[in-house]
């Protein structure tokens, strides 16, 4: 759009006094600045020289959150993606919150003193203030009352802790609303979800994705006949579902693509499956402002943007995944009453451990299962904190 053109969508922005948005990532921060300078200069050319076009921007965020994934990026690259590395940071005034509102707003019966101790412990984990250095890593001891230490089939006990009386409550979608098992990697998440799916009653239905190479591939030297259907089906990456999706009625799932933002059918929304059709899947929304709404999810065509492959391909699939367990990254922003943290492998990036521990609304709602290389429970785990990010805030 040219600078002298107007759109009705611009009017609320032009007339507003404040703009409120999430602010952790450098690229989004600077893109917002360029956009507002461009929009505001339509009515006043001087605005193009003012940060954010002269608008007051209220940024909500936390440097104790997980930074964006930068493929093959170094620690320096990851830190450079934070907004306090931007040239615009000098224009910002930092207002700090000192109360854990997630714990404060809980209806838990825990006394104020216990709640404060728990909140301070989570904060110390986030700041990297507790633990001992082992090699190049920070090792943190988890309090005994938060640990799952059963050596006999620990994964089964983890599921029982997270979803007690699962079979009796499978028809109650509110039961799934604030419960989750969190793990750092997709492999660990899939292991838990596959385990729960096996014990979940009902007839399973399998959906196979349709994969095709794109006809208008930019690389003309790559021949489409080189790639077999089996090769395309085996491609796995973050944000792209596996070739086979297995579901049962009543299973908890997560939407992985934005379908209808006005109806809150967005990436990360949790649903309960009601009907398993051939071309659509019926489900009930269990979080957000549209709790209880019945929705239908269609198949979608997806073209992965960058897989490091010399060609592009299209995958037609239902953008759903079973979510009795989810990755820690996907849980950001959620408040849960019952969190079970599954750590067969340690966390691997900035503040993953803090994010997982801080999703819970009460001390009694958190349990942690840490496994050693032999698959036996242990009491400590690695904590990754890039303390440099706190230097200029």
pLDDT at residue 216, as a whole number: 57
- Tokens 């590395």, residue located: 85
163 contact partners, CB below 8 Å, separation of at least 6:
169, 175, 179, 196, 324
pTM above 0.75, yes or no: yes
pLDDT computed for residue 302 by the predictor: 83
Report the percentage of the chain scoring pLDDT > 70. Answer: 91
Query: Any idea which of 67-81, 102-116, 164-178, 193-207 has the lowest mean pLDDT?
Result: 102-116
Average pLDDT estimate for 43-51: 88
pLDDT mean over 274-303: 90
Q: What confidence tier does 51 reach under pLDDT thresholds 50, 70, 90?
A: very high
Side-chain half-sphere of 32: how many Cα atoms within 13 Å? 22
Is pLDDT at 168 greater than 60 in this prediction? yes
Q: Which of 3-7, 157-161, 197-201 has the lowest mean pLDDT?
A: 3-7
pLDDT of 281 reads 96
Per the model's pLDDT, the better-predicted residue between 143 and 227 turns out to be 143
Assign 110 a pLDDT band (cuts: 50, 70, 90).
Answer: low
Name every residue whose Cβ is closer than 8 Å to that of residue 173 and which is 6 or more positions away in sequence.
272, 284, 286, 292
Q: Of all residues in the chain, what percent carry a pLDDT higher than 90?
A: 45
pLDDT at 59 over 60: yes
Task: Tell me the pLDDT tens digit for each residue of 181-238.
Answer: 999 999 999 999 999 999 999 999 999 988 887 765 555 566 666 777 788 788 776 6
Band the pLDDT of 128: cuts 50, 70, 90: very high
Helix, strand or coil for residue 263? Answer: helix
Place of tokens 């009796």: 168
Torsion of the alpha carbons at 291, 297, 303 and 306, rounded to the nearest 10: 30
Q: Which helix (H) or strand (E) holds 20?
A: strand 18-22
pLDDT, tens digit, 9 for 90 and up, residues 248-270: 999 999 998 888 877 778 888 99
Distance CA 116, CA 104 (A): 9
Residue 382 has pLDDT above 50, yes or no: yes
Instruction: Report CA-CA distances (Å) from 115 to 53, 64, 119, 343, 356.
Output: 43, 20, 6, 24, 17
pLDDT confidence bin for 1, thresholds 50/70/90: very low
Q: Over the stretch 295-350, which tens digit does the pLDDT of each residue have?
A: 999 998 887 776 667 777 788 889 999 999 999 999 988 889 999 999 999 999 99
pLDDT at 6 over 60: no
Q: How many CB atoms lie within 10 A of CB 93?
A: 4
- DSSP H stretches of helix in the chain: 11-15, 26-40, 75-80, 101-104, 112-127, 154-162, 166-169, 186-199, 229-233, 352-357
Which pLDDT does position 260 carry in this prediction? 85
- Nearest-angstrom CA–CA distance, 212 and 314: 5
Q: What is the mean pLDDT of the chain?
A: 86
């Amino acid at each position: 759009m040219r600078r002298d053109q107007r759109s009705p969508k611009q009017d609320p922005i032009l007339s507003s006094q404040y703009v409120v948005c999430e602010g952790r990532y450098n690229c989004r921060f600077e893109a917002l600045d360029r956009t507002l300078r461009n929009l505001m200069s339509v009515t006043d050319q001087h605005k193009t020289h003012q940060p954010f076009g002269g608008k007051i921007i209220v940024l909500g965020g936390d440097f104790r959150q997980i930074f964006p994934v930068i493929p093959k990026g170094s620690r320096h690259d990851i830190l450079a993606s934070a907004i306090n590395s931007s040239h615009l940071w000098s224009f910002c005034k930092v207002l700090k919150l000192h109360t854990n509102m997630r714990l404060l707003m809980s209806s838990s019966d825990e006394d104020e003193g216990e709640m404060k101790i728990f909140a301070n412990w989570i904060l110390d984990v986030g700041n990297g203030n507790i633990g001992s250095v082992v090699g190049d890593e920070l090792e943190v001891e988890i309090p005994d009352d938060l640990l799952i230490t059963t050596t006999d089939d620990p994964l089964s006990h983890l599921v029982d802790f997270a979803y007690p009386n699962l079979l009796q409550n499978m028809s109650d979608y509110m039961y799934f609303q604030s419960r989750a098992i969190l793990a750092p990697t997709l492999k660990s998440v899939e292991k838990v979800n596959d385990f729960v799916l096996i014990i979940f009653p009902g007839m399973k239905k399998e959906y196979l994705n349709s994969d095709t190479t794109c006809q208008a591939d930019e690389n003309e030297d790559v021949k489409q006949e080189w790639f077999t259907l089996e090769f395309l089906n085996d491609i796995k990456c973050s944000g792209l579902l596996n070739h086979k999706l297995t579901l049962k009625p009543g299973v908890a799932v997560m939407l992985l693509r934005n379908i209808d933002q006005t109806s809150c059918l967005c990436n990360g929304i949790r649903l309960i499956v009601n009907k398993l059709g051939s071309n659509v899947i019926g489900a009930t929304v269990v979080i957000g402002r549209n709790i209880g709404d019945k929705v239908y999810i269609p198949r979608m065509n997806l073209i992965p943007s960058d897989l490091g492959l010399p060609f592009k391909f299209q995958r037609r699939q239902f953008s759903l995944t079973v979510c009795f367990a989810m990755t820690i990254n996907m849980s950001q922003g959620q408040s849960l009453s019952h969190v079970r943290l599954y750590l067969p492998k340690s966390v691997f990036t900035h503040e993953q451990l803090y994010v997982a521990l801080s999703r819970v609304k009460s001390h009694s709602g958190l349990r942690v299962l840490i496994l050693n290389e032999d698959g036996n429970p242990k009491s400590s785990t690695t904590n990754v904190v890039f303390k440099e990010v706190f230097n200029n805030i």
